[in-house]
Chains A and B, each alone.
Chain A
Amino acid sequence: MERAPASDRSRFASTLAWIAAAAWLVAVAGGLAILWKYASTPAAAGVPAPEQWPAASAVARAQDRATLLLFAHPRCACTRASVAELARLMARFHDRVDARVLFWTPAGTPRDWNATDLWTSAGRIPGVTVLRDEAGREASRFAVATSGGVVLYDPRGRLLFRGGITAARGHEGDSFGQERIASLLTTGAADRADAPVFGCALEDEPPSRMARAGTLTTDRGGDR
């Protein structure tokens, strides 16, 4: 069999390399698009948060300033960004808001369920109290079904804001949720009172089935 001249083979190899490069670009663009879509898809809005602070709630509400609750799954990697953003918010507004991070603690889980870096990080934020949300009862009361979900109430217990404080799933940086909270705390008004939430689901079952009364264990970082 006659072998193709070197220049032909070289041209063929070059064409093949260009085709491979084009296919590679398409594959990479497709992969990045899937990733962006995943990161930018918020959790379903779900049930609206109560307009008034729930009477059954065991969480203490500040009387002289706003109260912010951040609900967190202790093992959700995406919530790390929410905690980081909460730290930024508290650095700006620690004198205008009391913040509590409630870690979802399902029934029957071992004592070290909450022993995660998220708990430690949240506990280190000045002005933030870290709590165990036993069986997610408080999350149900405030109708928060996604880790990273935030509710903000004024001193009279009226809902100011509900939603997330990150711009994408597990993504640090400015977000419109954060901007709206900042606006509410400084001017008392914002263009909207909600924002999408990005994070892991807090319960295995729909929130309606979890709406039941319960207790709350308070902690400031030591006991988990």
Chain B
Amino acid sequence: MSVARKALEMTRAATEAIVQRAETRYEAHRQEIFRSADRMFAGLMIGQWIFAIGIALVFSPYAWQGKVKTVHMHVWVALVLGAVITSLPVALAWLRPGEPLTRHSIAVGQMLWSALLIHLTGGRIETHFHVFGSLALLAFYRDWPVLVTGTVVVATEHLLRGILWPESVYGIPNPEWWRFLEHAFWVVFCISFLILSCRRSQTDMRVMAERGAELEALSENQWRNSSVVERAAADTRGDR
């Protein structure tokens, strides 16, 4: 084998090693972000549950039939449905952090929390901001399919409710079939930019991983090329 060929193969092997190392670093970084976001959302879900129970207890504790009061449906909904919505995302964040199913369940759960909070606050327009806030929080994953899942949940909820109980969404009994698209449009508008941001973040993360891998390889190469005496001296000095 010629020296040139051998050098070429060594360079190719070194490049592959760097690419492999970059991929490992990139995946490790992504996992770190996924796990950290999972933990954040687990806390947020529990916080939202407590908040919803508080809202129900303060604003609609009782339903009345004349002078007779009973516990309002909202209290039960906040307690039970809130617990159900919270359960799976929190369980998965705890048991299977960093997995795709976990973050997509969290996306579904978070958008369902928007729907529930909007309902518990009597459809107040201000609570609708929760939808957009939640989408922004889901962008913490830097994983755009999660945003798509969130959007699909919002659109489906609107579509189904628009078909079954149109007046509760649009205020009129016979809205045009495309009315849900008008609502979904603003969500799509929001996530379009969030998706761009996620993709850019992923590119940046990949560049960072590649640079890190190159630096690591260079450093290792330098160490290998140094003489035994130099390495021993460096060890004695505690350089490494």
CB within 8 Å of B: which residues of A?
A: 13-14, 17-18, 20-21, 24-25, 27-28, 31-32, 35-36, 38-40, 73, 75-78, 80-81, 84, 106, 109, 147, 167-168, 170-176, 178-179, 200-205
Contacts and interface: CB of A to CB of B under 8 A. Distances in A.
Contact of B81 (A25, A28, A202): A28
Interface stretch (B59-67, B135-143, B222-230): B59-67
A176 B167 contact: yes
Contacts of A172: 122-125
Contacts, number: 122
A178 B122 CA distance: 16
Given A17-B95, A106-B66, 11 more contacts: A31-B77, A32-B112, A35-B116, A38-B73, A40-B167, A77-B72, A78-B60, A78-B122, A171-B122, A174-B171, A204-B68
Q: Indicate the size class of the contact surface on chain B.
A: 35 or more
A203 B61 CA distance: 19
Contacts of B84: 24, 27-28, 31
Given A35-B81, A73-B64, A167 B168 contact: yes
Contacts of A81: 122-123
Given A24-B84, A167-B171, A173-B123, A36 B161 contact: yes
Contacts of B191: none
Interface of B: 59-69, 72-74, 77, 80-81, 84-85, 87-88, 91-92, 95-96, 99, 101, 105, 108, 112, 115-116, 119, 122-125, 157, 161, 164-165, 167-168, 170-173
Nearest to B102: A17
Contacts of A73: 64
Given A21-B88, A32-B81, A81-B123, A109 B67 contact: yes
Contacts of A32: 81, 112, 115-116, 157
A127 B168 CA distance: 28
B64 A76 contact: yes
A27 to B, nearest CB: 5
Nearest to B59: A77
Given A172-B122, A173-B171, A28 B64 contact: no
B170 to A, nearest CB: 7
Contacts of B105: 21, 24
A109 B66 CA distance: 11
B165 to A, nearest CB: 4
Q: Report the 9 A-B pairs with minimum CB-CB distance, sorted nearest first.
A: A174-B171, A77-B60, A204-B66, A31-B81, A168-B168, A40-B165, A200-B64, A171-B123, A24-B88
Instruction: Name the residue in B61, B84, B112, B119 with the highest tally of chain A Cβ atoms < 10 Å from its Cβ.
Output: B119
Contacts of A170: 60, 74, 122
A60 B166 CA distance: 37
B124 A200 contact: no
A172 B122 CA distance: 6
A25 B59 contact: no
Instruction: Name the residue in B65, B69, B72, B168 with the highest tally of chain A Cβ atoms < 10 Å from its Cβ.
Output: B168
A175 B167 contact: yes
A31 B67 contact: no
A168 B167 contact: yes
B88 A20 contact: yes
A174 B167 CA distance: 8
